[in-house]
Structure 1
Amino acid sequence: MSSDWDRFLECAPWFVQPGEAVEVGSPGPWARGGVDGLPELSALLAAASVTPLSAAGRSLELLSWGRSGERYGWVSLPRR
């Protein structure tokens, strides 16, 4: 399991219901470039790792950033 995913679940245990199957992929770098006109968000995304997930039949992505032991993240829908 992904350590970013483990950390996310520690902070948001409500995200997954008991017995719900979750598939966690391998993390990789953000590869979609920046967001025009939003340099701070673009820098945050450039520093993020992206872990693909599947939970409750939905495809999702966990974006994580920060130093080891102090990582933060959010879950979003993947780009279509």
Structure 2
Amino acid sequence: MIDWDIFLASVPWFIQAKSKILLGESRSGFNLTPDFRRKFSSFSELLDQAEVTRVSVNDSQYELCSWDSAKGHRMGWLCLLPPRIPASGVCDDHAILFTGFGGIVERFNEPEDTWLLNLNDALTVRETSRDG
């Protein structure tokens, strides 16, 4: 089963009946800047281990990031693309984060004790704009 199918089985409410879905090819890891890797070294290691599939849903662009859990099942995040224009009005750490990672908008097969539980957006530009 491909990661997109696993995602949809876990998060069936994400797609509407007439949604236009395009799947791109999968790749390993992220293209992260040296500043990103220095500032977020552990997170960079996690992102380097991800299988990443580009996804378009009704012209909205995402990256589906997937990993094998310690128990052997696929899990992951549906992420926004990093912003094309550098994020303004955010702290320096967020500005570095957004050079290579767009933030999480959905999750699948996550552990029950994740800090992401009950969040609709995590680490996204639109969420940082609410923190002002």
**What TM-score do you get using the length of structure 1 for normalisation?**
0.82
Q: Any unmatched runs of 5+ in structure 2?
A: 85-132
The answer for the alignment partner of 2:47 in structure 1 is 45
**What fraction of aligned residue pairs are identical, expressed as a percent?**
35
What CA RMSD, in Å, does the superposition of the two structures yield over aligned residues?
1.8
- Greater Rg, structure 1 or structure 2? 2
Q: Is 1:28–2:31 an aligned residue pair? A: no
Q: Which amino acid aligns with 1:32?
A: N
**Alpha-carbon distance in structure 1 between the residues aligned to 2:14 and 2:38:** 31
Q: Any unmatched runs of 5+ in structure 1?
A: none
Aligned residues: 78
The answer for the alignment partner of 1:77 in structure 2 is 80
**Alpha-carbon distance in structure 2 between the residues aligned to 1:30 and 1:47:** 6
The answer for the alignment partner of 1:17 in structure 2 is 16
Task: Between 33-42 and 20-29, report the one with greater CA deviation.
Answer: 33-42
Name the structure, 1 or 2, with higher relative contact order (CA <8 Å, separation 6+): 1
Q: How far is the alpha carbon of 1:36 from its aligned partner?
A: 3.1
Q: How far is the alpha carbon of 1:37 from its aligned partner?
A: 3.6
